[in-house]
Amino acid sequence: MPANQPSTLQLELLKEAKLAELLSDPLDLRLEASGVLAKDGIFYVIFDNSPDIGRIDGGLARDAAGNRLIRQELGHGAGYEDIAHDWTAERFYILVEALPHPGGGFMAKVQEHDERGGYLSDAWLDFPLDRPNKGLEGLACVQRAGRTHLLGLCEGNRCRAGAEGRRPGGGRIQVFARGSRRWDHLGTIRLPESLWFEDYSSLAVADDRIAVVSQASSALWVGRFSPSSWELADQGTTYGFPLDGEGRTVYCTVEGVSWVAADQVVVVSDKAKAGSQHKRCRAKDQSIHVFALPGAAP
């Protein structure tokens, strides 16, 4: 168990694969996965270092006919952090962490894509950010009272960078609704103060279930919303990613998460950082993984 982390339940690995084996393409030697979406038995993966969208069969079979990269000619081009889907409008939303805003400072942006993955438009998420590399890391689309909402997860605690952002107990999710030219900020969801995550890298919402993943803490938190509100029903449950035989972290670069079922999630991992992360982290990096949540109702 990593230092300074309380004992947690451990996720059960069901299957995993290297993304390069599923999306074999000599032009893409690095697949820095940053977000994943499970939809109709398919996993859609986005990357920090590429504009293209990965389409992967849910069985993670290397020879599945549908596995491919959906090429993108339009849009921001790189720096994508997460992907969400709006079933009412048949749209994908892709999050760009933070960009310089014409009015000063930085804000995140969301690109809108059609059901085939084609770029349509983009719009700002109206929430000021500290700096370009510490912004919104996770994105979920939720329908409430006939209105489409986007939930944006701050990377740092209290939506701050630096030491303050690494101090646990300040997880924040920003709530947005579509305005005439941008996504208007409606409010903030506070994650439990007892949650000990050092950072936050993705979130997923299905029905009243919410999942939040942390890369630095190599863990997943699962909670529930109270009916028809943005209030959390309880303190939730925290699950650790599996450790190696010596109790060391091996899932060092977990980034995206999406619900597969009430007791299963799919997660993707970024490229391990040379020099700052142990070489054992490479075994699980640039990969896609499916986990079961022990004790969760199927």
CB 191 within 8 A of CB 221: yes
Q: Give the C-alpha separation, 135 to 131, whole Å.
A: 7
In angstroms, the CA 172 to CA 158 distance is 6
* Burial (Cβ within 10 Å: 0-12, 13-18, ≥19) of residue 159: buried
Question: In this structure, is residue 63 part of a structural domain?
Answer: yes
Q: What is the DSSP string of 71-106?
A: ---SS--S-EEEEEEETTTTEEEEEEEEEE-TTSSE
Nearest to 249 by CA among 298, 210, 216: 216
Write down the pLDDT at residue 77. Answer: 63
Domains of the chain: total = 1
Within a domain: 298: no
In a domain, 4, yes or no: no
- Alpha-helix residue ranges (DSSP H) falling in the chain: 19-22, 162-166
Left, alpha or beta for 196 (phi > 0: left; psi -120 to 50: alpha)?
Answer: alpha
Name the one residue in this structure whose structure tokens are 């009272």: 145
> 3 in a domain, yes or no?
no
List the domain range (segments joined by +) for residue 112.
9-292
pLDDT in single tens digits along all 298 residues of the chain: 444 455 579 999 999 999 999 987 645 567 899 999 999 999 999 998 888 899 999 999 988 988 999 888 775 666 789 999 999 999 999 998 778 788 888 899 999 999 988 889 999 999 998 776 678 999 999 999 889 999 999 999 998 888 888 898 999 999 999 988 899 999 999 999 999 999 999 999 999 999 999 999 999 999 999 987 899 999 999 999 999 989 899 999 999 999 999 999 999 999 988 777 878 999 999 999 999 999 877 7
**Residue-level pLDDT at 1:** 42
CB atoms within 10 A of CB 147: 11
Q: Using CA atoms, how far apart are residues 28 and 211, in angstroms rounded to an integer?
A: 30
Reduced to 3 states (helix: H, G, I; strand: E, B; else coil), residue 157 is helix
Residue 117's nearest CA partner among 147, 85, 77, 140 is 85
Question: Considering the domain boundaries, does residue 2 fall inside one?
Answer: no
Contact status, residue 127 vs residue 173, Cβ threshold 8 Å: no
Query: Which residues are CB-neighbours of 182 under 8 A, at least 6 positions away?
Result: 123, 124, 125, 126
Indicate the burial class of 168 (C-beta count within 10 angstroms; 0-12, 13-18, 19 or more): middle
pLDDT for the residue 185? 97
CATH assignment of the domain containing 242: 2.115.10
Structural domain includes residue 216: yes
Distance, C-alpha 185 to centroid of its chain: 20
Q: How far is it, in rounded angstroms, from Cα 18 to Cα 208? A: 31
Token pair, residue 92, equals: 């994908």
> Per the domain annotation, does 297 fall within a domain?
no
**Furthest C-alpha separation in the chain:** 54
What pLDDT is recorded for position 2? 46
